[in-house]
Structure 1
Amino acid sequence: MAARRPVAVERERFDWQGYALAFEQYGPAKGPAVLLMNGLLLDSLINRPLARRMAADGFRVILLDLLGHGASDRPIHATMNRIDFYGDQAIACLDHLGIDQAVVGGVSLGAIATLHATAKYPERVRAQILEMPVMERSTIFAALLLVPLVLSTQYLRPLVRGFTGLVRRLPRPGNEVIAGGMNAASNRPEEIAAVLHGILVGPVVPPYPERKRMTQPALVIGHKGDWLHNLQDAHALARQLPDARFIEARSILELRLKPDRLYPAIRDFLLSLDAAPRQTKIGEL
Structure 2
Amino acid sequence: MLVSERIGQFFLEGEAGRDRLEYTEYGAGDAWVVLVHGQLMPRRMHQPLARALAAEGLHVVTLDLLGHGRSDRPEDPLVYSMTAFGEQVVALLDHLGADQAVVGGTSLGANVSLEVAAIAPERVRGLLVEMPVLDNAVEAGILAFAPLLFAARFLPVTVHALRWATRPVPRGLVPFWAGIALDTCDQRPGAMAATVHGIFFGRVAPSARQRRAITAPALVVGHPADPIHPAADAAMLADELPDARFVQATSILEWRARPERLDREAADFALECWGTRAGQRRTVG
TM-score normalised by length of structure 1: 0.90
> For structure 1, which segment, 245-254 or 64-73, has the greater mean C-alpha deviation from structure 2 after superposition?
245-254
Cα distance in 1 between the residues matched to 2:116 and 2:130: 15
Aligned to 1:267: 267
Task: Determine the structure 1 residue equivalent to 2:72.
Answer: 73
Verify the 8 A CA contact 2:5 2:27 in the aligned structure 1: no
Verify the 8 A CA contact 2:167 2:186 in the aligned structure 1. yes
Deviations 1:171-205 (A, max 9, x none): 21454332122111121222211111111121100
C-alpha contact 1:45 1:176 (8 A) present in aligned 2: no
Work out whether 1:204 is the aligned partner of 2:204.
yes
- Unmatched tracts of structure 1, length 5 or more: 1-7, 277-285
| Contact 1:221-1:246 at 8 Å conserved across structures | yes
Q: Which amino acid aligns with 1:95?
A: D
Match of 1:183 in 2: 183
CA shift for structure 1 position 147: 1.4
1:219 counterpart SS class: strand
Secondary structure of the 2:222 match is: strand
Q: Could you say which residue in structure 2 is the equivalent of 1:41?
A: 40
Q: Could you say which residue in structure 2 is the equivalent of 1:159?
A: 158
Query: Whose relative contact order is higher, 1 or 2, with alpha carbons under 8 Å and at least 6 apart?
Result: 1
Cα RMSD between the aligned structures?
1.7
Q: Distance in 2 between matches of 1:10 and 1:216?
A: 28
SS at match of 1:11: strand
Deviates more, 1:32-41 or 1:261-270: 261-270
* Residues 1:224 and 2:224 aligned together: yes
Contact map agreement 2:58 2:271 (CA 8 A) in 1: no
**Residue identity (%):** 40
Counterparts of residues 109-128 of structure 1 (less than 5 Å)? 109-128=108-127
Report if the CA contact (8 A) 1:221-1:248 is conserved: yes
Q: Distance in 1 between matches of 2:54 and 2:257?
A: 18
Moved more, 151-160 or 171-180: 171-180
How many angstroms does 1:111 deviate by? Answer: 0.5
Moved more, 253-262 or 84-93: 253-262
Match of 2:9 in 1: 13
SS in 2 for 1:12: strand
Distance (Å, rounded) in 2 between the aligned partners of 1:194 and 1:177: 26
| Alpha-carbon contact 1:45-1:177 (below 8 Å) kept | no
Q: Distance in 1 between matches of 2:90 and 2:208?
A: 22
1:86 corresponds to which residue? 85
Over residues 11-34 of structure 1, what are the superposed CA-to-partner deviations in whole Å (9 max), with x where a residue is unaligned? 211011321111100012x24000
